[in-house]
Structure 1
Amino acid sequence: MSDYSIRTSSKSISAARILTSSGFGLLFDSFDVGLLSYVLVSLSKQWHLSHTVTGLVASVSMIGMAVGSALAGSLADKFGRRSIFLWTLLIYSIATGLSAFASGIGIFFVLRFFVGLGLGGELPVATTYVLESSPETVRGRRVVYLEMFWAFGSLVAALVSFFVIPSAGWRVVFLIGAIPALYTIVLRFALPETPKYRGLQKRPSMGKALKQVWSGGLARRSMVTWILWFVMNYVYYGMFLWLPSVLSDKGYSLVHSLGYSLVMTLAQVPGYLTAAWLVEKWGRKRTLVTAMFLSGLSALGFGFAQTTAWLIIFGLLLSYFMLAAFAGTYIFTVEQFPTVARATGMGWAAGFGRIGSTLAPFITGWLLGAHLGYGWVFGIFFAVMIVGFIIVTTLGYETKGVDIK
């Protein structure tokens, strides 16, 4: 099997087509998450929301993502990766489009839950799909390339927010996010089910698949990946959803806050590219734990930065290492489980991790509202990341070069 294509029973599907069709789903996922962080700055002023309520808006999305990740992962092992991917993307598209017409915070809460439901479900299913459709020798690199679409989505969100929100308002950007996502569904219809999934002799029930990931030798792997996802989600969403607001609170205007956030976002792509090279050279675990440790140090530096120059420097380092760590998280997690329960293992780990992303925006908003200080707030992110670093370093299982069944 070549690096550039996979054979199906009737045709050859190029790697570029697999990555593009699957990756655009992640791009829109990232676009929405990044978009929300910018929208919250404008929304909180227009609807006069406190820090605590603003944090709750983000947390509702994460609750939806938690449910979506676990549910879609289990469904994908039972009914296939392709069909569940399509359903999750459709739910996201409709809910995002309707968000543009929200008349108050109540309906906005409801719609954000369904947006999260679609987003959370799509991420583990797309990752599983690309892994199972890739040659063994480059599967790690392929998965990281897939996750790189997340960085592109963050960049698009920053660009759209920078140019659209100040002039046209926040409602327009939700419409921009919904319409292209519908086209991705059309692209995804052209792809077949993965060879590994089609080759399964028996597909277990959802309950048996979940029981399997917590039995025998997989229990330790599940524990490590669940903790890993909690840590990564807590730190990432706690910091990046609040990044424009933090800059705004430090005295920068909305335009300058969005502009500085855009500059910081540019570091995400090289972070992914570095991880794509290292996971095949160094290994999944070593790449992951190194990026986690350096992300923690960057968070600490950002929290104590006093000048614009240092804010941007540490913001760039934070984006670079944090996204490299997330790239490592995806490939590290999805390779821990066998095909028969892979989407379940991936989905439930990601779903449990969403508890971290649910708590982080709210807790961060509460801490900022209590005037604790950015040094303390980002010091907490550093401490949480170091805990995850220690657990993965001591208990994590390396899968580089291991034949996944």
Structure 2
Amino acid sequence: MRWTVVLASLFLCELADIATLSYSAPAIRTDWHLSITDLGVLTSATFLGMFVGALLGGRLADRYGRRTILIAAAAFFSVCSILSALAPGYTVFAALRFLTGAGVQATTGVLLVYAVEMFPRTSRGRYLSVMIALGGLGVPLIAGAARLLVPLGPDGWRWVFVVGGVGLIPAVLGALLLPESVRWREIHGRRTPAELLVDRLERDLTARGVVLPEPEVRAAEPRHGLAELRSSRYLRRTVVTSAVMVLAILSYYGFNSWVATLLVDRGFDTTQALTISAVLALAPVLGALAALPIIDRWERRRTSGVLCALVAVAMLVFALTHDTVALVVAGFVAALLLQANTAVLYAYLPEVFPTTLRGIGSGIANGAGRIAGVANGFLIAAVAGVAGFTGVFLTTAVLVLLAGVVLWTFGVDTRGRALDDIAGDGTVADPGERLTAGRS
């Protein structure tokens, strides 16, 4: 439970920080006299940083450990967020958003790898859903903070970025409470501390009356070199997961990051737009909870396909309606189901790669999605300029539908399977599997 709380707190701060720009954008645009294209550049700078963070964080986590990089990345993005509040102008602010994005995505990617390796195979999806649900509180919290702080004056938006630096607190807690991944320790020759951790956890569970199954003994896991990502098995998985993340990110951020700005362009004033956005920001928390009963029950790739289709329908209504109530309801449903799908994808991505490639493999897929985020700023700005509010959200509906089709058609089955079986080696020993079996 302590792990779940710490990881959820890290995820909360990560989501809060990445949302700071979305909710501050209208005020920044007014304060610095920016065009919508200028805002697109800021969004793209953030995503370019996230691309770098996805690759660098994943690779460093494979080499130096999940826990170490997770804590360092969280502290880094928090400091950069606070510095963003002090930016004297547009150029410095854009550079700081790049650095913040790098830290944020390194945190997210390594957090997912850590959770997949440290929680039971039969329930790791549910653990992730709980963490994402609790972490999702970061979005309404930052939306509420923006609603209170932005109207205070011309510099009110700067305090929103100070709030975004709260990630320093769970970073310290993580350093105190989180152990290193059992799988990572074992494959890097640190078997003794890994076994000691497993033994301690098993004793704790036994003392609480939990009957543990017999441990499943397997051969030692082979180490995979980086070049093996080009093998037929892992190349296909890398391409498929990357394509899905590109389409999913374009849709997710095309919807969530531009709602407040485009509502203003549609005729709502800034206060109304922020109020509607704050209401929609509550949906992701419920969306992650909505994933709880299905994420470990049904195959992830098919679950994602169904969710993507439902999101597309909700986005169509959001794009076409002129009724305010219908707009809010459709937007809420779209945001809710987008987050449910995010929980499914976040469980799926790290599962399809072996331990020594898990950080970089899932990092490449996440990084591809973040490069799409770079393009997203320009794409949405261009679509908005030509087709306005309706055109933007019709576009996001098509993109999310394509993401579901690709994963349904070309993905691999992962639900309830041991990580080594998914990797395809069939020979992998894992004290982590002993750990997860005992905690199921």
The answer to whether TM tops 0.5 is yes
1:378 corresponds in structure 2 to 393
Q: Distance in 2 between matches of 1:18 and 1:164?
A: 32
Q: CA RMSD in A?
A: 1.7
- Decide which of 298, 302, 318 is 2:334's aligned counterpart: 318
- Decide which of 14, 33, 44 is 2:29's aligned counterpart: 44
CA contact (8 A) 1:74 1:209 kept: no
Q: Distance in 2 between matches of 1:201 and 1:375?
A: 52
CA contact (8 A) 1:267 1:316 kept: yes
Cα displacement (A) at 1:309: 1.0
Q: Distance in 1 between matches of 2:253 and 2:374?
A: 8
Q: Superposed, which structure 2 residues align to 1:280-359 within 5 Å?
A: 280-359=296-375
The alignment of Structure 1 onto Structure 2 pairs a total of residues equal to: 385
Cα displacement (A) at 1:113: 0.6
CA contact (8 A) 2:18 2:104 kept: no
Cα displacement (A) at 1:386: 2.1
CA contact (8 A) 1:59 1:359 kept: yes
Residue 165 of structure 1 aligns to a residue whose secondary structure is helix
2:411 corresponds in structure 1 to 396
Q: Distance in 2 between matches of 1:334 and 1:304?
A: 37
Question: For each residue in 1:47-101, what CA deviation from the matched residue of structure 2 results, as whole angstroms up to 9, or x when unmatched?
Answer: 1111111111111000000000111101101110011112211210111011111
Q: Superposed, which structure 2 residues align to 1:28-43 within 5 Å?
A: 28-43=13-28
CA contact (8 A) 2:18 2:101 kept: no
Residue 217 of structure 1 aligns to a residue whose secondary structure is helix
Q: 1:288 to 1:209 in 2, by over 3 A?
A: farther
Q: Distance in 2 between matches of 1:150 and 1:229?
A: 20
- Decide which of 288, 295, 299 is 1:272's aligned counterpart: 288
Q: TM-score, normalised by structure 2?
A: 0.84
Identical-pair percentage: 31
Cα displacement (A) at 1:19: 1.4
Q: Which amino acid aligns with 1:287?
A: T
Q: 1:173 to 1:201 in 2, by over 3 A?
A: closer
Cα displacement (A) at 1:348: 1.2
Residue 199 of structure 1 aligns to a residue whose secondary structure is helix
Q: Distance in 2 between matches of 1:295 and 1:109?
A: 31
2:278 corresponds in structure 1 to 262
- Decide which of 172, 175, 182 is 2:159's aligned counterpart: 172
Q: Distance in 2 between matches of 1:236 and 1:135?
A: 28
1:184 matched to 2:170? The reply is yes
Cα displacement (A) at 1:37: 0.6
Q: Distance in 2 between matches of 1:189 and 1:262?
A: 32
Cα displacement (A) at 1:201: 4.9
Q: Distance in 2 between matches of 1:210 and 1:292?
A: 32
2:144 corresponds in structure 1 to 159
Q: 1:209 to 1:253 in 2, by over 3 A?
A: farther
Compare CA radii of gyration and give the structure with the larger one.
2
Report which stretch shifted further, 229-238 or 385-394: 385-394
Cα displacement (A) at 1:322: 0.7
CA contact (8 A) 1:209 1:344 kept: no
Q: Superposed, which structure 2 residues align to 1:27-106 within 5 Å?
A: 27-106=12-91
Q: Distance in 2 between matches of 1:301 and 1:131?
A: 36
Q: Distance in 2 between matches of 1:251 and 1:201?
A: 58
Q: 1:121 to 1:314 in 2, by over 3 A?
A: same
Q: Distance in 2 between matches of 1:396 and 1:322?
A: 19
Q: Distance in 2 between matches of 1:211 and 1:317?
A: 42
Cα displacement (A) at 1:209: 4.4
Cα displacement (A) at 1:202: 6.1
Residue 49 of structure 1 aligns to a residue whose secondary structure is coil
Cα displacement (A) at 1:149: 3.6
Q: Which amino acid aligns with 1:239?
A: F
CA contact (8 A) 1:80 1:197 kept: yes
- Decide which of 244, 247, 251 is 2:260's aligned counterpart: 244
Q: Distance in 2 between matches of 1:214 and 1:20?
A: 37
Cα displacement (A) at 1:112: 0.5
Cα displacement (A) at 1:234: 0.7
**Structure 2 unaligned residues grouped into runs of 5+:** 191-222, 421-440
Q: Distance in 1 between matches of 2:7 and 2:229?
A: 25
Question: For each residue in 1:9-39, what CA deviation from the matched residue of structure 2 results, as whole angstroms up to 9, or x when unmatched?
Answer: xxxxxxx211121222211111122221111
Q: TM-score, normalised by structure 1?
A: 0.91
2:186 corresponds in structure 1 to 199
